[in-house]
Structures are given as structure tokens and as C-alpha cells.
Amino acid sequence: MITNRTYAVEPWSVRETALSLDLLAQSESVFALSNGHVGWRGNLDEGEPHGLPGSYLNGVHELHPLPYAEAGYGNPESGQTVINVTNGKLLRLLVDDEPFDLRYGRLHSHERVLDLRRGVLERSCEWTSPAGTTIRVRSTRLVSLTQRAIAAVEYRIEPVDSRTRVVIQSELVANESLPDPDGDPRAAKALQSPLEPEEHAARGLRLRLVHCTRRSGLRVAVAADHVVDGPEHTTTAAESDADVARLTITSVLAPGQSLRVQKTVAHGWSGARSRPAMSDQVEAALAAAAHGGWEGLVDEQRAYLDDFWARADVEVHGDEEIQQAVRFALFHVLQAGARAEQRALPAKGLTGSGYDGHAFWDTEMFVLPVLTYTEPTAVAEALRWRQDTLPAARDRAAQLGLEGAAFPWRTIDGSEGSAYWPAGTAAFHVGADIAHAVVRYTAATGDTGFERDTGLELLVETARLWRSLGHHDHHGVFHIDGVTGPDEYSAVVDDNTYTNLMARANLLAAADVCERHPDRAELLGVDDEEAAAWRDAAESVHIPYDEEAGVHEQHSGFTRHQRWDFAGTRADQYPLLLHFPYFDLYRKQVVKQADLVLAMYTCGRWFDDTCDEEQLARNFAYYEPLTVRDSSLSACCQAVVAAQTGHLRLAYDYAAEAALMDLADLEHNTRDGLHIASLAGTWMALVAGFGGTRREGESLSFAPRLPEKFSRLAFRLQFRGRCVRVEVAADKATYTLLDGEPLTIRHHGVPVPLDDATPVTLAVPEPKRRPTPEQPPHRVPNSSR
Ligand code: BGC
């Protein structure tokens, strides 16, 4: 198992018992708090030392040019980068006449705990200043899941053995200086000083700063209010300047006395609202938060999370590390989506600036599956954001000479944020991924209002894209040529199986939804002929198959390519993209991330209808030795199909890799932000992998099987107004309808009616034993490496 653990293994918390300055950036990501709208990295209260200061507002970005050595038609020319907005976390502290800075003096103890049930980050430490004054500092921080604009900190200081003069400077700071990125293309372009000052104010215990981004023209307002509780002679003074607003709190504390500051910070941004309107907005948010005070915020947070865990918890018995990891994963996935409300869900959530804060297909294929069955309202919101960005996607399709909508490979504001590169520009599958998420959400919730108002338009515009991107050959077979599938080590290929099968489902779903809502379809100009053309294309889509190898091809001609020289590739040459030229990766059999294997999961129905279990096992065995997992999106997909094909130990190793990606910093880049898709993939590996959960139309099927390490796995799913609990042991599975109307599910293919709350227990059949497929050298799953 993984040895380099920094955090104690506990079921409901992530505890760091000593501060390691080398790991500061990493722990800032792990301890990040967010509600999907506001994100605060787990920076120390006093701001320094830091790895990467980070305060984010979902959607706030700056534009920058995308220069090309050689011009080309249709190349995106403007990029977007998330920016570090005004920092409201800061509480600097002066102890007698020395700054509380952990790089100096003596740190006796330092503990931070991310409490997954209360949704707070707690910190406590004891420190002696270089001059010999010893103090205790405790803080509790939250980003409110119930009051979207609000984050808050309770900060408490007490002297240990002598009368101590303390000064707390509670600040709002804009345009903090940021460390230079380290050259990894996946890290963010740090835009220095992106905010133009517009207004600053400080009065009583209140502070406010309003800024505007230079090129993207987004107005950002942040305000803070305080409750100060200290000995009688405690004084306060407020001041502000263009980029700093400060409340200075001064006191002299005798041993046994303490100074407590509760700081509430309100955030808002807009591309349209005026400066006074934004100031009023954040002041109003502060007033609302003051209503219940600090205790109110803490209580609401707990109640929100109690409700979430009652619907979403996953219990793992026999493996404490995975138990902690899956709850940590669910917590961060919830944080990424809970209150995003018609904004993107970035690949790093709001935990860091990696990938420039862009959202990818990660949202629809990794994050939304979890939220669909645990927090479905967040899914509808995320997909409404896609709908809001349809004008940009239609423009992009028109620019490319295509019909319908071409959604961006990576974006913040809906326009394409990726400079031309084959793996991104041709990754049209993102449209089908969005369609897939629409179908999954509507089927799992029965939300027909959403289907009519949002789903239909997304399905129609993406179907139009496929129809214009693909063509029928002279035999009538439908091909989609020149696209890139999920595997970024193959690009601009013909008939990528994943893309073709996902497009097929997209085209059929569009035709079906138009039949269900003909009035809406008509408004979009869909007639019978267009819907029939979608069905024709779907039914005749080409799926490449290599007869000799007896496997489905990732794309036409893939299995004919030369194999990558795996034996000649050293361990330190991974990820390959940082050590070998793309052109060479493109022309060899080497797979960055699950592609055909992902199709076997997401389009499992098509495989079930067209081939047998042996075919699935052969496909899996063929792609395993080629798949290097240079993307964190891969392990979870491989876990699901490994479990499906009976390789339970291998599935476990992949599940553990996905689960521990950030808690054990497996890819050494957790500092840039968490891998939200991999965290979501942890749930996927457990629920879809070991739970064998699949949606079948308007019902669910399960084919559970546990790896040896687990003695029991239990999870809950929200499904069409019901709550279903599944509990799996080595030899049996128990299904309980906790809430809602009767439902007939399937257990290993057998229909099982769940009529009421009486648990139904069934035997779990043994899997068929097959030799375990091998991975490329140095690329066995990380948990057993
Ligand atoms: C993967 C993409 C993914 C992106 C963001 C890349 O490494 O290849 O599939 O969307 O990371 O997570």
C-alpha cells in the first residue's frame, strides 16, 4: 500500500499532525474549502509561508492572447485563465513585537483537521516567538454551503505563560504576488496583478474592496465584517487603500485571557452589474450572514452535510484508507458542484489554478455521474451552464464549417480556451459527453421540465454536429473521421470507437426527445426528416474491429500501428508527454488513458447487445499492456472494467490509485489543485466497479462483487425520487428501498422487485477466473508499485 502518507487515516476527517513546509502547496489543495462559487485554498491564516495563495470565484478569469508561430484559419486566439481574486482569509498576527510566522521561532505543535461532517477546517498550534513568547492559536474556517457568497473564520489567540501584546490585522488583499509556475504546461499561467482597483472602504469593523479585471471586464467585490471578543481595553482601527483593506485589532492578554475574532467575508462578481450594485450585493450578503452569526453558519453547514451524507455516504469495511478516501472524494466533489449554479465545474474545482481553471469533459463524464445519484440539482445547474454557452458553441461550429454546436475542449466562459492542438481541437466527443450527461440526469431523476427546457436543446444541437461532422460512405456506413477520442496519445483519427458509440447514443437520444416534445423540437426547426437522418446515422455507425486480434479497435487502424517501445522507456520518462514528441506518440500503439475501455463502460449496453463477456475480457486484456495512465482520469475507468471482467484484485489496485491520487499526491502535482475527476472516479470505481451499478432505462441493475480487501461495501443512490441502499458482502448483496415508490432492479441479470423497505438479500455468484492482464513496465497501479 502507499507509504508516503501525510495525513492520519480516520473515517470522517483528514488530519495533519505536523506542519511540513515542503508540502505546504499540496496541503493547501487538500484542505481547500469551496462551495462551487467561492473557493479558498487551505493557506495558513497569516498568509505566509505559502505554496500558492488562492482565493477563487467561479467564472472570474482574465483573457490573454494565444500566439501562434504559424497562423491557421479557426485557431482560437484568446485564452482564459482563472485569477486569484481578493483574499479575504488573511489574519496576520504580531506577538509582542514579532510576526507570527512559522518559519521563525519554535513550533511546539501544529494540527489541521478537515472535518468532512461539519465542513470546516480546524487548526490549532502552539508557538514560541524568537523572543520567547509562547502563544496558542486556534482557527476554524468554512466556506458556506448554504450562503453562497459567504466564507468565514473564527480565530482565537491566547498567551501561554506571560502577559502578551497582540495585534491581529484582518485584511482583504487584492493582487497578491504569486510564485512563478514551474514550467509544467498543466499548471496555470500566473497573471500578475490582474485586478484594477475601483473602490475601497473601511468603516467600524467593516472592510470592502471592489476591483475589475482589465481585459475580461469582470467586477469583483469582497467585503468583510467582524465580531471581536477580547479583554476590555481591546481596540480596533480600520483603514483601506486601493488593494488592501485592514482592520487592526490590538490587545494585551494575560495568561488565561484570549482574543477571539470572527471574520465573515462576502464575495460577488459580475460582468454586468455596476460598482454600487456590487458593493450593495456583498454588504447585503454580510447582513444576511450576521443574522445567524458564526454559530448559525456552523450549524447550517452541519445540517447541510448531514442531509448530504444521509443520501450519499459510501461505507467501506475492511479498508480504512479507502473509507477515508471515498468520503474525502465525495466531500470535494460536492464542494466543486454544490453551489456552482450555472457555472462550469473546473477540472481542479476551486482548489487551485492548475489547468488555468478550465473545465473539460471531466465534468460530464466523471463528476456529474456522482452528483446525479447524490446531489442531482447540481447536475441540472451544471448542464444549464452548458446551455447558456450554446451561442459560443454554435459560433464555433459555424466557424469550423459545421452545424449545431461544437462545445469547447477547455473553457471558463464557454468559448474555446485551448490553442490549436490536435488532441483538443479535434476532441469533439465533448458534445456527446454532454448529451450523455443529459440523458443520465433525466433518466435518473425523471425531471421532464429540465428535459424540455434544457436537455432537448443540448441534444438537438450536439446531434446536428455529429450529422454534419460524419458522413455515409457508398455502402451507407456512417463514419466520423479526423477526431480525437479520450486517449490524447492518438489524435485526429478515423472512427474512434468511443466517439462513434457516444455519438450514436447522442443521435438516438436527440431523435427520441424530439418525439417526446414535438412542440419544442419544432421551435428548434427539427422536422421528421432531420430526426430520421439522425437515426440512420446512428444505426449505421462504423465500429472498427480487428478480426485477427479478435478485439474492437480504439480507432480504425489502431491495432496495425507499431507498439510503443515500452521495454526501452524508463520509469522517469513518464508521463510520456513531457519526454517524447507527440507526433511519435500519435503513430504508435500507446494509450494515455482509458478510451476503448471507457466506451465499454459508458456504452456498455451496445457491447452487451452485440458481443459476449469473452469479447469484453479480450478487449480489456488487449488494451491493458498499452495503457500508461498518464492521465488521472484513467485508473477509475480501468477499475470499473477490471471489476466487470472479474479481475477484482486489479480493480482494487486501480480504485486505490484513483482514491489516493491527492491524499498521497501520486502524480506529484496536487499542489496545483485536486484532481476532481479522479476523486469522482473513486465513487465510480466503488459503485460502478464493485457495486456493478448500471442504469438500465428507468431502472437500475447491479452485479456486485467485492475485492478480497473489503469485507463489506455499502452505498446509497438517489433514483427517480427514491433512495436505494445497496450493501455488498463477499457472498451476498442486500438491497433496501429506503424511500420512495416500488422499483424492480436487477441483480446479476435477475429481476428483483423492491416493493417496500424490507431488505432483499441475494447470493453473489463467483466471477469467472481469467489470467490477470499485465500493464506496461513501471505502470502497474500505483497502490502496488
Ligand atoms: C486528460 C484529459 C482531461 C484533462 C483535465 C488531461 O490530462 O488527458 O482527458 O480532460 O487532463 O483533467
pLDDT digits (tens, 9 = 90+) for 600-659: 999 999 999 999 999 999 999 999 999 999 999 999 999 999 999 999 999 999 999 999
Q: Is 361 in the pocket of ligand 1 (CB under 6 A)?
A: yes
Buried b / exposed e along 744-763 (16+ C-beta atoms within 10 A) = ebbbbeeebebeeeeeeeee
Cα 757 from Cα 765, distance rounded (Å): 24
Buried b / exposed e along 18-40 (16+ C-beta atoms within 10 A) = ebeeebbbbbbbbbbbbbbbbbb
Q: How confident is the model at residue 192 (pLDDT cuts 50, 70, 90)?
A: confident
For residues 329 and 679, the answer to whether their CB atoms sit within 8 Å is: yes
Cα 93 from Cα 153, distance rounded (Å): 14
Structure-block grid coordinates of residue 38: 467561492
Cα 745 from Cα 750, distance rounded (Å): 8
Q: How many CB atoms lie within 10 A of CB 699?
A: 15
Q: What is the pLDDT of residue 782?
A: 80
Q: Is 340 in the pocket of ligand 1 (CB under 6 A)?
A: no
Structure-block grid coordinates of residue 433: 459527453
Q: Atom 6 of ligand 1 has which residue's CA nearest to it?
A: 631
Q: Is the pLDDT of residue 279 over 80?
A: yes
Q: Atom 7 of ligand 1 has which residue's CA nearest to it?
A: 631
Buried b / exposed e along 394-405 (16+ C-beta atoms within 10 A) = bebbeebebbbb
26 alpha carbon – ligand 1 mean position (Å): 20
Q: Is 418 in the pocket of ligand 1 (CB under 6 A)?
A: no
Q: Is 674 in the pocket of ligand 1 (CB under 6 A)?
A: no
Closest among 773, 397, 399, 425 to 620, alpha carbons compared: 773
Q: Which residues pair with 167 in a beta bridge?
A: 94, 250
Q: Is the pLDDT of residue 91 over 70?
A: yes
Q: Atom 1 of ligand 1 has which residue's CA nearest to it?
A: 631
Q: Is 488 in the pocket of ligand 1 (CB under 6 A)?
A: yes
Structure-block grid coordinates of residue 509: 437520444
pLDDT mean over 449-464: 98
687 alpha carbon – ligand 1 mean position (Å): 22
In three-state secondary structure terms, 30 is: helix
327 alpha carbon – ligand 1 mean position (Å): 23
Q: Which atom of ligand 1 is nearest to the CA of 360?
A: 10
109 alpha carbon – ligand 1 mean position (Å): 39
Is 8-285's fold the same as 311-730+768-784's? no
pLDDT tens digits along 357-412:
999 999 999 999 999 999 999 999 999 999 999 999 999 999 999 999 999 999 99
Cα 114 from Cα 122, distance rounded (Å): 6
Domain ranges of the chain: 8-285, 311-730+768-784
Q: Which atom of ligand 1 is nearest to the CA of 358?
A: 5
Residue 739 amino acid letter: D
Structure-block grid coordinates of residue 560: 496495425
Q: Is the pLDDT of residue 785 over 50?
A: no
Q: Is 360 in the pocket of ligand 1 (CB under 6 A)?
A: yes
Q: Which atom of ligand 1 is nearest to the CA of 410?
A: 10
Q: Is 715 in the pocket of ligand 1 (CB under 6 A)?
A: no
Alpha helices in 517-633 (DSSP H): 518-523, 528-539, 582-586, 596-602, 604-610, 613-623
For residues 694 and 687, the answer to whether their CB atoms sit within 8 Å is: no
Cα 504 from Cα 491, distance rounded (Å): 20
Q: What is the pLDDT of residue 387?
A: 98
Q: Which atom of ligand 1 is nearest to the CA of 486?
A: 9
Residue 261 amino acid letter: V
Q: Is 347 in the pocket of ligand 1 (CB under 6 A)?
A: yes
Binding residues: 361-362, 592-593
Q: What is the pLDDT of residue 639?
A: 98
pLDDT tens digits along 549-606:
999 999 999 999 999 999 999 999 999 999 999 999 999 999 999 999 999 999 999 9
Q: How confident is the model at residue 2 (pLDDT cuts 50, 70, 90)?
A: very low
750 alpha carbon – ligand 1 mean position (Å): 37
Q: Atom 12 of ligand 1 has which residue's CA nearest to it?
A: 347
Average pLDDT, the chain: 96
431 alpha carbon – ligand 1 mean position (Å): 16
Q: Is 633 in the pocket of ligand 1 (CB under 6 A)?
A: yes
Q: Is 362 in the pocket of ligand 1 (CB under 6 A)?
A: yes
Q: How confident is the model at residue 179 (pLDDT cuts 50, 70, 90)?
A: confident
470 alpha carbon – ligand 1 mean position (Å): 25
What secondary structure does DSSP assign to 246-314, as a single string? Answer: EEEEEEEE-TT--EEEEEEEEEEEESSS-HHHHHHHHHHHHHHHHHHHHHHHHHHHHHHHHHHHHHH-E
Pairing of strands 551-552, 545-546: antiparallel
Cα 433 from Cα 496, distance rounded (Å): 14
Q: Which atom of ligand 1 is nearest to the CA of 593?
A: 8
pLDDT mean over 130-153: 98
Q: Is 498 in the pocket of ligand 1 (CB under 6 A)?
A: no
By most ligand atoms within 8 Å of CB, the mutation choice from 631, 667, 672, 675 for ligand 1 is 631
Cα 19 from Cα 21, distance rounded (Å): 6
In three-state secondary structure terms, 16 is: strand
In three-state secondary structure terms, 328 is: helix
683 alpha carbon – ligand 1 mean position (Å): 18
Q: Is 331 in the pocket of ligand 1 (CB under 6 A)?
A: no
What secondary structure does DSSP assign to 508-535, as a single string? Answer: HHHHHHHHH-HHHHHHTT--HHHHHHHH
106 alpha carbon – ligand 1 mean position (Å): 42
Q: What is the pLDDT of residue 191?
A: 76
Binding residues for substrate: 361-362, 592-593
675 alpha carbon – ligand 1 mean position (Å): 10
466 alpha carbon – ligand 1 mean position (Å): 22
Q: Is 355 in the pocket of ligand 1 (CB under 6 A)?
A: yes
Q: What is the pLDDT of residue 180?
A: 77
What letter does residue 784 receive in the DSSP assignment?
G
Q: Is 631 in the pocket of ligand 1 (CB under 6 A)?
A: yes
Cα 147 from Cα 145, distance rounded (Å): 6
Q: Which atom of ligand 1 is nearest to the CA of 423?
A: 8
pLDDT tens digits along 740-749:
999 999 999 9
For residues 236 and 247, the answer to whether their CB atoms sit within 8 Å is: yes
510 backbone dihedrals φ, ψ, rounded to 5°:
-65, -45
Q: What is the pLDDT of residue 185?
A: 65
Q: What is the pLDDT of residue 783?
A: 62
Rg, C-alpha atoms of the chain: 27
By most ligand atoms within 8 Å of CB, the mutation choice from 633, 637, 667, 675 for ligand 1 is 633
Q: What is the pLDDT of residue 530?
A: 98
By most ligand atoms within 8 Å of CB, the mutation choice from 356, 409, 421, 488 for ligand 1 is 488
Q: Is the pLDDT of residue 188 over 70?
A: no
pLDDT mean over 185-214: 89
Structure-block grid coordinates of residue 715: 452505498
Q: Is the pLDDT of residue 682 over 90?
A: yes
Cα 82 from Cα 672, distance rounded (Å): 12
The CATH number assigned to the domain with range 311-730+768-784 reads 1.50.10.10
Q: Atom 8 of ligand 1 has which residue's CA nearest to it?
A: 631
Q: Which atom of ligand 1 is nearest to the CA of 631?
A: 7
Cα 604 from Cα 608, distance rounded (Å): 6
Structure-block grid coordinates of residue 95: 506577538
Q: Is 427 in the pocket of ligand 1 (CB under 6 A)?
A: no
Q: How confident is the model at residue 784 (pLDDT cuts 50, 70, 90)?
A: very low
Q: Which atom of ligand 1 is nearest to the CA of 592?
A: 8
Cα 727 from Cα 714, distance rounded (Å): 4
Cα 661 from Cα 328, distance rounded (Å): 11
Kindly give, in sequence order, each residue whose CB lies less than 8 Å from that of residue 276, ignoring residues fewer than 6 positions away: none
Report, as residue numbers or ranges, the catalytic residues: 488
Q: Which atom of ligand 1 is nearest to the CA of 675?
A: 12
Q: Which atom of ligand 1 is nearest to the CA of 488?
A: 8
Q: Is 678 in the pocket of ligand 1 (CB under 6 A)?
A: no
Q: Is 423 in the pocket of ligand 1 (CB under 6 A)?
A: no
Least confident piece of the model among 2-6, 163-167, 179-183, 266-270: 2-6
State the virtual CA torsion across 91, 97, 101, 103 in degrees, nearest 10. 170
677 alpha carbon – ligand 1 mean position (Å): 9
| 62: enclosing H helix or E strand | strand 61-65
Q: Write a three-state SS string for 673-712.
A: CCCHHHHHHHHHHHHHHHCCCEEECCEEEECCCCCCCCCE
Q: Is 677 in the pocket of ligand 1 (CB under 6 A)?
A: yes
Kindly give, in sequence order, each residue whose CB lies less than 8 Å from that of residue 55, ignoring residues fewer than 6 positions away: 38, 39, 40, 41, 84, 85, 86, 87, 88, 89
Q: Is the pLDDT of residue 1 over 50?
A: no
Q: Atom 4 of ligand 1 has which residue's CA nearest to it?
A: 360
Structure-block grid coordinates of residue 508: 438516438
In three-state secondary structure terms, 182 is: coil
Whole-Å CA distances, 49 to 20, 21, 183, 495, 639? 11, 8, 22, 51, 39
Q: Atom 11 of ligand 1 has which residue's CA nearest to it?
A: 631
Cα 552 from Cα 545, distance rounded (Å): 4
| CATH 2.70.98.40 corresponds to the domain 8-285 | yes
Q: Write a three-state SS string for 715-755.
A: EEEEECCEEEEEEEECCEEEEEEEECCCEEEEECCEEEEEC
Percent of the chain with pLDDT over 90: 96
631 alpha carbon – ligand 1 mean position (Å): 6
